[in-house]
Structure 1
Amino acid sequence: MSSESPISVRTAEDARRQLDSLLDELADLAEGASSPEEFWPELLSRLIFAASAQGAAIWQLGASRRLQPLYEQGFDKVYSAPQRDVAIDIDACSLEAALRKPKASAIVSGGESGGQTRLMLAVPLETVARTSALLVLYQPADLPAVTQNGQLRLLDAFGEIAVHFQERRLLADFAGAEQNWKNQLYFARDVHRELDVQRTCYRIANDGRLALDADRVSVAEWDGPAAYIQAISGIDVINRRAAVVRKLERLATAVAKQKQPIIFRGDRENLPPQIEDALVDYLEESPARLLIAVPLVREEEHEEEEEATAEGTLVGVMIVEQLEATEVERLLSRTRSLAETASIALDNAQRYEKLPLRGVMQFVGMVLAQFGWRKLSRTMRYVLPVLLVLLATWLIPARFEIDVRGQLQPEVERQLFAPLDGYVDEILVKHGQMVDAGEVVAKLRSPDLELKQTETAGLLAAAQSELDAVRVERTQNTRRDDDRRDNRSADRDQLSADEIRLTRRIANLQEQLLLLDKQQQSLTLTAPVAGQILSWDIDETLQARPVSRGDSLLKVAEVDGPWVLKLEAADRRTKHILDAQAATKQELPITFHLVSEPGVKHQAKLTEVSQVIDVGSETDEPAALLTASFDKTEIDFLRPGVSVSGRVDCGTRSLAYVWTHELWEAVRRRLFW
């Protein structure tokens, strides 16, 4: 039927019969097994035809609790292209009032930016006592009131059919969900029947195929670097030499290494290259058009302090195949749900098979049963093993280790300090640059020192001039007549005294100039040792920076020389280290690893323990500083200041003491502070 053709009837009776026929056909369509993608467009087109309307739409509440058009027809006639999005937002706000009304109602909207107004006839679609959608019919705003009333009744009739369709879809979804839960319960019950890995894999494959209604399900067990097929639904014995099995194992290994589920629907564009190659190779042996591969991962129940991971433990891979790519999302959802149960069952079976002395423990259980272990009271059956375990912990020796934290540092480090007040005039090195001993690294200027040099030089020149004048005058007095010598004796004595005074003053000023020159030379900073510049952002932090005497400016370290560990041990643990050192009279071994490389252990020797307790830089608690030596050739990532975590070996103690010494020390501090 065309949505643009008006209803053409000769009599009211013919129109009523035609409308009844249209509603009956639509009701039959709602009773059938049609999908929403088929039903809603058909309903909208028939509604537009029956009402000779401009358009119609299904509006539904979205995740943000705002109405949004889910299905629509005729929007190109209702909304003009330039203002389409704005008009739809305005209508969404206008239609919210219709959600709270029990029957169809009329709403006039539009007129924004000088546009035409439109009449919206909306009926709420209530399902399970909840209104979440509207059926909206669009008509011109000048539609007569009598015609509006008739079309509201027509809209109510179409709304009843739409509600009936929604209820049937909801019941079908509930029935499918109920059957899915039953299948999952049966699957969970069967896969946990036994603790044998191979039998568990067979149950996962065969029961999983029935639960998922799939064509084939395969299960691969993860064993180190590769996955091995243990079961394929419908096959009793696996022939590992078969090409399909070998290619399937290759695909399972690639998926396991990625630890991410993959979905193949005929398009391989979004697949990683290593998975794509294995998938293409396997599809040469399989006619599947839909393939879902899900890693079986057992989530960890607790997280370690330093090596926590959210990925869990990989135990296998489940591969589901379908000859037709239908209902992909539903199959994927059910596959993921079954994979969680399958991963737990397979992990339990693997753990059971890996138990050491499993047969011996079963034999011991049988022997204890023969000697009446089960006849003991329940209290004794719990108390006796606990007592035996406690006794064993006091007899079993264990390594007693103290945790320490610190950094890697070159053994020789030198700081360059500002010798005088002034400012940094020139920086000649950069961070990480290698320098030689005596190489100039920076130049400072001191205006006060330059002023003192100028003043002293001026005073020296003045004193020298005055001394020259005294010597000239004294020479002239010596050449005068002897008759007048007695009269000038007092002047000569004064000139001699002035000469001596000025000579001494000149000597003092010369010494001052020498000292000032040495201070001027000290403003040129040189590297005290050959090594590497460790200071960061030198240009930004030092260039033209005012400095005071004693300020630290640069750090130079001999990175090519020996390195040491600068560690910190908590003050409350220091006594254990000192006691162990006094008992062995040797350097205590230390096992440490870089924080950036957990699990890679290195060895060191404790060389020195500080005699002073200071505040630790790692924990802001009282701590003792330790120094340890190590072989730097064993560490690839050798950088000054790299954080390390280690343990000092303090000998052996009983297992109970190693486990509980912190608790006992806390109790003693609380009771005997």
Structure 2
Amino acid sequence: MSSDQVYESVMVERTRQQIRALVAEIAHLAQQDIQTRDFYRELLQRLLQALGAPCGAVWQPGEGGSIELVYQINLHETRLVENPEAMQRHGRLLQRALVTGEAAIVPPHMGDGQEGQPGNPTDFLLLLGPVRVKDETRGLVEVFQRPDTAPTSHPGYLRFVRQMCELAAEYHKNRQLQHYSLRQALWNQLEHFARVAHYSLDVRDTAYTIANEGRRLIECDRVSVAVRRGRRYVIEAISGQDTFDKRSNTVRLLTRLAQAVAVAGEPLWFTGDAANLAPQVEEAAQAFVDETHTKCVAVLPLRRPPQPPKDKEQDHLDEQPGEVIGALVVEQIEDARPREGMAQRVAVVCDHGSTALANALDHQGLFLMPVWRALSKSRVLVTARNLPKTLAAAAALVVLVLVLVVVPYDFQLRGKGVLLPVERRDVFAAVDGTVEQVLVRHGERVRRGQKLLVLRNSDVEGQIEHTLGEIRKTESDLAGIQRQLFGVGGVPLKREEEVKLASEEASLKKKLESLQQQLRIYQEKQRRLT
């Protein structure tokens, strides 16, 4: 054997080992729990490396029969984007491969000149391999191979692409099994939460269970439960804390936030964007986040379950939302993005938590429930030895209550009081001023129109004096002009001077009228001071 043949055999064996290593890596990735895009990125890189192909892509079926791109490498070298018609032909080719589910080799420019038919409008040799799981095509691997490769190697290329697609199918099967396992684990968690949430009828114990078991189900950092007490809301439980100081600043801000959202009646998912929030909710959320540095906080009102309709005629009516009895607060301290499926888990906790909390509140609100609870815990009163005494005491208590209810008895009550008028009228001064004299005594009967007070307003008096001075000055100026017009000095006036003096006379008359009107207004204000 020549040295060239030995070298060639060594290189072939080395290439085979590299391909086996790549296949082993893909098989290992198929068993891992990674995202679909990440898996196909690694698969496509190794596939192109093994085949020596310049570019490739992975496609998957989309909604409405469309095709979606999962991952691509150097797809721009095919120049499909530059030609819309070529993209349509290529898309029809991919669609046919997804429908048939068969691997194929498509030569370059296959189908050119056939309008509306699928084809390969590129200069590359296409290798198409479908990823099928139980007769369902989950994806399509497309490799753009150089056209100058030997035709005898093309079936080997296609077999290798099929092998990679089988590994991709194993990946999807493993993902589906993991999905089923996670779903089963989730159902077990939901069943456990539903069971323990309804275990107790004590409000505090129920709130504590909702907070702690709800945090495990939601997989968040902290869950708190607020319960309505009259018009106020009180934080009853915080996950991970048996006791807490309700006077602390964090708890007070948490109570304020829960009450604001519960009063609004709408759920809150706050990650920092307060564009569409009510002012009172925005202020409470910002204050709580600034204090606790929480990245994501969700506050959901807990409502009493709606009552079923009493008759069949009300079945068609929309169910009204129940009364708000509390609030569920979910916090993520480190991550601002809600985890996948977090909203659905929070909704489940709200539904079961609302029912459990409503049952506990109804049980706590029963008549004389503390007395019945205390009696149920005391066994001394119901023992055989003390039972007659207990029954006798109970009978005596019942007789006493009946006597108090049935037998009439006069009850007199004395007290001091002040008579108040049936109709009351407040008197206001029309003008502000300082009281100088009170003309009536307290409690004295007065008549309509009778003067009660004498007020003084120095501003009004000053305005009157100023206006009188202006009037006197204007009258003096007007008299001087009139003397000139009548020729009192014996000096004849020119036509221009006479017109000018007549104009000044008219202006002074208007000014005098205005001053006299102002004087009347000020005098009316002064008159109203009494």
Normalization by structure 1: what TM-score? 0.47
Q: Residues 305, 209 of structure 1: CA spacing in aligned structure 2 closer, same or farther, 3 A cutoff? A: closer
Q: Tell me the equivalent position of 1:28.
A: 28
Alignment match, 1:62: 62
Look up the match of 2:254. Answer: 248
How many angstroms does 1:218 deviate by?
0.5
- Distance (Å, rounded) in 2 between the aligned partners of 1:302 and 1:144: 76
Please state whether the residue corresponding to 1:295 is helix, strand or coil: strand
| Corresponding position of 1:449 | none
Q: Aligned residue for 2:395?
A: none
Shift of 1:217: 1.0
Q: Does 1:262 find its partner at 2:268? A: yes
Q: 1:145 to 1:267 in 2, by over 3 A?
A: farther
C-alpha displacement of 1:154: 1.6
Task: Find the aligned partners of 2:339 and 2:20 in 1 and give their Cα distance.
Answer: 38
SS at match of 2:17: helix
Deviation sequence 1:467-512 (CA, Å, 0-9, x none)? xxxxxxxxxxxxxxxxxxxxxxxxxxxxxxxxxxxxxxxxxxxxxx
Counterparts in 2 of 1:46 and 1:293: CA distance versus 1, 3 Å = farther
Aligned-pair distance for 1:140? 5.5
Instruction: Indicate how the Cα distance of structure 1 residues 266 and 97 shifts in structure 2: closer, same or farther if over 3 A, else same.
Output: same
Structure of greater relative contact order (alpha carbons < 8 Å, 6+ residues apart): 1
| 2:306 corresponds to | 300
- Residues 355 and 105 (structure 1 numbering): CA distance in 2 closer, same or farther, change over 3 Å? farther
Equivalent AA in structure 2 for residue 40 of structure 1: Y
Q: CA deviation at 1:344?
A: 1.8
Structure 2 distance, partners of 1:101, 1:166, is 19
In the other structure, the counterpart of 2:427 is none
Question: Quick one: distance in 2 between partners of 1:82 and 1:173?
Answer: 40
Deviations 1:351-409 (A, max 9, x none): 3334557689999x9xxxx9xxxxxxxxxxxxxxxxxxxxxxxxxxxxxxxxxxxxxxx
The 1-side partners of 2:130 and 2:211 are apart by 47
1:62 & 1:123 partners in 2: Cα distance? 18
Alignment of 1:148-227 (within 5 A): 148-222=154-228, 226-227=232-233
Check the 8 A contact 1:79/1:87 in 2, yes or no: no
Preserved contact between residue 67 and residue 96 of structure 1 (Cα < 8 Å): yes
The correspondence of residues 189-588 of structure 1 with structure 2, limited to 5 A, is 189-222=195-228, 226-265=232-271, 273-298=279-304, 300=306, 302=308, 308-309=318-319, 311-325=321-335, 328-355=339-366
Q: CA–CA distance in 2 between the matches of 1:80 and 1:322? A: 45
What residue number does 1:130 align with?
136
Deviations 1:80-133 (A, max 9, x none): 43445x655544432233235565223466858996465442222223553232
Separation in structure 1 between the aligned mates of residue 304 and residue 131 of structure 2, nearest angstrom: 44
Q: Which secondary structure does the structure 2 equivalent of 1:162 belong to?
A: helix
Q: Which residue of 2 aligns with 1:71?
A: 71
Alpha carbons of structure 1 residues 319 and 10: separation in structure 2 relative to 1, 3 Å? farther
1:329 aligns to what SS in structure 2?
coil
Q: Which residue number corresponds to residue 18 of structure 2? A: 18
CA 1:9–1:275: 2 relative to 1, 3 Å: farther
1:202 Cα deviation from its structure 2 partner: 0.8
8 Å Cα contact 1:55-1:77 kept in structure 2: yes
Quote how far apart the aligned CAs of 1:270 are.
6.2
From the superposition, tell whether residues 62 and 227 of structure 1 become closer, same or farther in structure 2 (CA, over 3 Å). Answer: farther
Following TM superposition, by how much is the alpha carbon of 1:187 offset from its aligned partner in structure 2, in angstroms? 0.6
Corresponding residue of 1:105: 104
Q: What secondary structure is seen at the aligned counterpart in 1 of 2:215? A: helix
Secondary structure of the corresponding residue to residue 324 of structure 1: coil
Secondary structure of residue in 2 paired with 1:284: helix
Shift of 1:162: 1.4
Deviation at 1:209, TM superposition (A): 1.8
C-alpha contact (below 8 Å) 2:234/2:255 kept by paired residues: yes
Distance 1:270 1:194, change over 3 A: same
Deviations 1:3-27 (A, max 9, x none): xxxxx99822222111112222232
Which residues of structure 2 form unaligned runs of 5+? Answer: 1-7, 377-381, 383-530
2:31 and 2:257 mapped to 1: Cα distance?
A: 44
Deviations 1:203-238 (A, max 9, x none): 100111222333211111245655321110122234
Q: Which moved more, 1:312-321 or 1:13-22?
A: 312-321
Partner of residue 464, structure 2: none
> Given residue 350 of structure 2, which amino acid in structure 1 is its aligned partner?
A
- Look up the equivalent residue of 1:158 and give its one-letter code: M
Q: In proportion to residue count, which structure has more helix?
A: 2
How far does residue 163 in structure 1 lie from its aligned partner after superposition? 1.6
1:183 deviates by 0.9
Check the 8 A contact 2:30/2:170 in 1, yes or no.
yes
Partner of 1:562: none
Q: What is the CA deviation profile of residues 553-602 of structure 1, one whole-angstrom value per residue up to 9, with x for unaligned ones?
A: xxxxxxxxxxxxxxxxxxxxxxxxxxxxxxxxxxxxxxxxxxxxxxxxxx
The separation in 2 between residues aligned to 1:91 and 1:257, in whole angstroms, is 57
CA contact (8 A) 1:260 1:294 kept: yes
Residue 94 of structure 1 contacts residue 107 of structure 1 at CA under 8 Å; is this kept in 2? Answer: no
Whole-angstrom CA distance in 1 between matches of 2:187 and 2:78: 45
Structure-2 change in CA distance of 1:110 and 1:257 (3 Å): farther
SS of equivalent to 1:214: coil
Amino acid at match of 2:68: Q
8 Å CA contact 1:105, 1:122 repeated in 2: yes
TM superposition shift of 1:298: 4.6
Q: In the TM superposition, what whole-angstrom CA distance separates every residue of 1:133-153 from its partner, at most 9, and x where no partner exists?
A: 222223456765433312211
Could you tell me how far apart the structure 2 residues matched to 1:37 and 1:270 are? 34
Give the Cα separation in 2 of the matches to 1:170 and 1:216. Answer: 31
In 1, Cα distance between equivalents of 2:349 and 2:190: 7
C-alpha distance 322-50 of structure 1, shift in aligned 2 (>3 A): same
Residues 132 and 65 of structure 1: CA distance in aligned 2, closer, same or farther (over 3 Å):
farther
Summarize deviations over 1:301-358 as a string: whole Å, max 9, x none: 5576998455444332212223332761233332222222112212222333345576
Q: Say whether the 8 Å CA contact 2:296–2:338 is kept in structure 1.
A: no
Query: Counterpart in 2 of 1:40?
Result: 40
Separation of aligned partners in 2, 1:299 and 1:9: 78
Contact preservation (8 Å) 2:57, 2:143: yes
